[in-house]
Chain A
Amino acid sequence: MTNQTIAAPSSKSVNSRSASRKFFKIGRFPGFGLTTLLFFLFLYIPIFILVIFSFNSGRSATIWDGFGLNWYAKAFNNDDIQRAAINSAIIALIATTIATILATLASLVLARSRKFKGQNISYSILMMPLIVPEIVTAVATLSFFSFVGLNLGIGNVIIAHTVFCIPFAFMPIRARLQGMDSTLEQAAMDLYANEWKAFRYVTFPLLMPGIISGAMLAFIISIDDFIITLMVSQAGSTTLPLYIYGMVRMGITPEINVVSSVMLFMSIIFVSLSYLIGRKK
């Protein structure tokens, strides 16, 4: 209960910068920085290798055969692989957006309101996509879609992705909300802000780190999904994972590394740009 009364939602917005600097030192633990460094090495060494092999001239994604840009040339001329990559991106973006909005609304209700009837059952339903094994979801969803005659092409995939993205977006947002008090919101309302304004200018910014975390988890879950997509996809909605797993009879080539590298480069450029823009402010 202590946290309820003392916890201020965000140190940065409330405290002055210098004050929070001072508190940093107290919050520091030896070895955490080193763990983080090792963590990022662990994360990026395989990715580094993956990028290197996109420049392999041989057929293999792991046996080096000399430098060559031939797979780049091939990928840039391969309409199928580009279409698959674009499909993946579109599906992941839309599904992530919808899932994150729904998850945010749901977690606001579940974490904020007092106990109400149906709270536990709602919570269980939200967790359902996480618990059911993927292949079961895939077969069940496919049977259901064909039973109701759902024929939306790529839309079918987006619906299926939205469903299993919800718990991944929901969990971090709910974790963020837990123990966060509503005093600030109350204060804003006392100052005659309407509910929407209180949400927009108080709750939402406080919730942002949770929403970002949730959205990013939903995104990576969606962009890498294979089994469910395989089952529910219709003609013309092949995604990158489907393309890759279909290569069994011929073997995976560095072309896949090329596509992945291009996606990585684009996202890293995007992140660095937003970092630089953010710093100027």
Chain B
Amino acid sequence: MEPAKREATKRWLGISPAVLVIFIFMVIPICIMAVYAFLEANPYGGVRPHFTLDAFIQFFFEYDFDDNLVFNSAYLNIYWRSFVLAFFTTVLCLLIGFPTAYYIAMQPTNKKNMLIFLVTIPFWTNLLIRTFSWILILRDYGVINNILLGMGVIDKPLTLLYTNGAVLIGLVYTYIPFIVLPIYATVEKLDLRLLEAAHDLYANRRQLMSKIILPLTAPGIIAGGILVFIPSLGAFIAPNLLGGGKKLMIGSLIQLQFASSRNWPFGSAAALFLMAAVLIAMMIYLLGPARKTDLGENAG
């Protein structure tokens, strides 16, 4: 028996089902879409088989109403805005999600399992009506304003709905379980004897957190960060319903191209730009603070 060969076979058996499924049903179709980006748009949706770079040009330049080709920052603005929003969503999710995941993981097994279920149950309902609930809470004579008015804290309602804050709340609400669960999965395996040992060596709470807990749970934080950041880039229900839909986000922009604007090539090109931007952002993220832990593991 050749152990190396056996090892390779095992590896292949383990990884190929998932990779193959995604490859066949995702990578191949997406390659077709990538080709679309280089073709002409069919006015009724779809493409015509003529090579053109129009879609990529359109991303940076436009013909103004007088037919001159000028630089156009509209799409870059939309991308920048979405990235900023996704970034703040991720940070907020992390600030709320980490302590929660940590606290839950420190409970006795049975309680822990129940709490972790309770984290996800709200998300079995539909996103649209969950967002409707937030409208009710945030609007001018909604729950929050009525409470504050009733207590006499304010004398006229605060504008909460249709603001950036409202969008942020909506996004955090949508994506928070995606950070709590991966962090929980890593905190749960944290060896408390390590903390005990460090404590004996007079480490304070802060040191425990920064020297032991955070490095050891970094894989969960990274995983959760990715699971929140990328989907919130493409979100459009919260921006449209809670933000008033006055500004386009990447999600609605790309959606629009496949719907009423019927410009599939530009939709594909915009998606390619998004994917490239996400990859760059992920590289920066992965090569940042988390790198040390990752390397440590691979070396070990």
Q: Which residues of A contact B (CB under 8 A)?
A: 1, 3-4, 6-12, 15, 20, 23-24, 26-29, 31-33, 35-36, 38-40, 42-47, 49-50, 61-62, 102-103, 105-106, 108-110, 113, 115-116, 122, 125-137, 139-141, 143-144, 159-160, 162-164, 166, 168, 170-176, 178-180, 206, 209-210, 212-214, 216-217, 219-220, 223-224, 226-227, 240-241, 244-245, 252, 256-257, 260, 263-264, 267-268, 271-272, 274-275, 278-279
Contact = CB atoms under 8 A, between A and B. Distances in A.
B118 A29 contact: no
Contacts of A214: 181, 185
Contacts of A42: 96, 173
Contacts of A139: 33, 258, 264, 267
Contact of A47 (B125, B224, B231, B300): B125
A244 B230 CA distance: 25
B19 A122 contact: yes
Contacts of B113: 212, 274-275, 278
Contacts of B106: 24, 27-28
19 contacts: A8-B191, A15-B192, A26-B199, A26-B208, A31-B99, A33-B103, A39-B97, A62-B135, A106-B18, A136-B258, A171-B223, A172-B185, A175-B219, A179-B189, A179-B216, A213-B185, A271-B121, A274-B113, A278-B109
Most chain B C-beta atoms within 10 Å of own C-beta, residue among A33, A171, A214:
A171
Contact of A126 (B19, B124, B177, B299): B19
Interface stretch (B48-56, B71-79, B83-91, B247-255): B247-255
Interface stretch (B8-16, B58-66, B152-160): B8-16
A131 to B, nearest CB: 5
A110 B191 CA distance: 23
A24 to B, nearest CB: 6
A279 B18 contact: no
The 5 closest A-B pairs by CB, nearest first: A140-B29, A46-B133, A23-B192, A213-B181, A102-B18
Nearest to B209: A29
B263 interface: no
A116 B4 CA distance: 11
B120 A219 contact: yes
The DSSP consensus for interface residues of chain A is helix
Given A9-B189, A35-B100, A178 B181 contact: no
Nearest to B230: A130
B21 A172 contact: no
B102 A32 contact: yes
Contacts of A110: 15
B126 A130 contact: no
B17 interface: yes
Contact of B110 (A23, A29, A38, A279): A279
B227 interface: yes
B297 interface: yes
Contacts of B227: 130, 168, 171, 217
Contacts of B122: 43-44, 46-47, 264
B187 to A, nearest CB: 9
A267 B26 contact: no
Contact of B29 (A144, A180, A220, A244): A144
Contacts of B268: 136
B30 A163 contact: no
Nearest to A40: B118
B149 interface: no
A138 B121 CA distance: 26
A271 B118 CA distance: 8
A109 B11 CA distance: 6
A175 B126 contact: no
Contacts of B190: 11, 27
Given A32-B102, A163-B22, A244-B126, A39 B96 contact: yes
Given A125-B27, A179-B216, 10 more contacts: A11-B193, A26-B208, A139-B33, A163-B22, A171-B227, A176-B220, A224-B123, A224-B127, A226-B127, A267-B124
A216 B11 contact: no
Contacts of A143: 29, 32
Given A105-B18, A128-B26, A257 B185 contact: no
Nearest to A266: B124
B19 A144 contact: no
B180 to A, nearest CB: 8
Given A106-B15, A220-B123, A162 B21 contact: yes
